[in-house]
Amino acid sequence: MLMYHSIGTSAARRFRRFAVHPAEFADQMAYLDDQGYQTVTAADLAERQASVTSLPERPLVLTFDDAYEDFYTAALPVLREHGFRSTLFVPTAYVGMTAAFNASTGEVDRRIMPWSAVRDVMAEGVEVGSHSHTHPQLDLVPGDILIEEISRSRKLLEDQLGVPIEGFAYPFGYWNRAARAAVADGGFRYAAAVADLRMSPGDDIFTLSRLTVRAGIGVTGLARLVSRQSTLWRRGKARARLPFSRAVRGIVPVMGTSEIREGPPGT
């Protein structure tokens, strides 16, 4: 399961690693097509984890976090060209607005798709999932905010799109037992974390691991990424990283729902 963010030509210095150039993205998708990878949605993978369905011989999940406008303008045409499916995770408070949650990377002006574009991509077969409401670090917020973030985002998506929303992606990849339980209790069928690990049979359906595609790795780097094995050492390192990161982040205030300036939701 791969995780992309922005497919764009420019970015602030601290955000550049998340902004894959459109030409690089096109080359990567051509490589995956040439190698015979068959894309499925994250929901398809979750069903396979639950032993409900089978997957193609070389399955691959392409996920895109944050619903930046360049998914609609730059990524979708390439995905369409190759007949690739994908999953888009949307932070609902910012639909039709800009990414205020990117303050730490200096990318607060990057635009998020409006509802009309979200509907368009869904009509083309893109799975739409929740990325919370205001994109906070869910492992650090109080319980009432945690539940509000999860339930509000799902309701908005279902009201706007008219379909059940099954998938969730933890903002920044941060989760703990409370966040996992809240997502499971909130009616979602699966949740995606990060961990930078390749999926393995038996992985927890509410903390599915993804591999981050960083800008500049090109086709060669992508080839290494999709062939990476999830060794016991890598899994142990990923498990150890979560509580350490949580302790460090807990020193500073966390953005929660009440700190977001709400605006028009877009069209």
- We report the CATH number of the domain holding residue 172 as 3.20.20.370
pLDDT band at residue 201 under the 50/70/90 scheme: confident
Average pLDDT of every residue of the chain: 88
pLDDT band at residue 195 under the 50/70/90 scheme: confident
What pLDDT was estimated at residue 56? Answer: 81
In a domain, 264, yes or no: no
What pLDDT was estimated at residue 239? Answer: 59
- Average pLDDT, integer, range 106-133: 97
- Average pLDDT, integer, range 115-124: 97
What is each CA distance from 64 to 41, 247, 260, in whole angstroms?
11, 27, 23
Indicate the number of domains in the chain.
1
pLDDT per residue as tens digits for the range 9-38:
999 999 999 999 999 999 999 999 999 999
In a domain, 169, yes or no: yes
In a domain, 265, yes or no: no
pLDDT per residue as tens digits for the range 210-232:
999 999 999 999 999 999 876 55
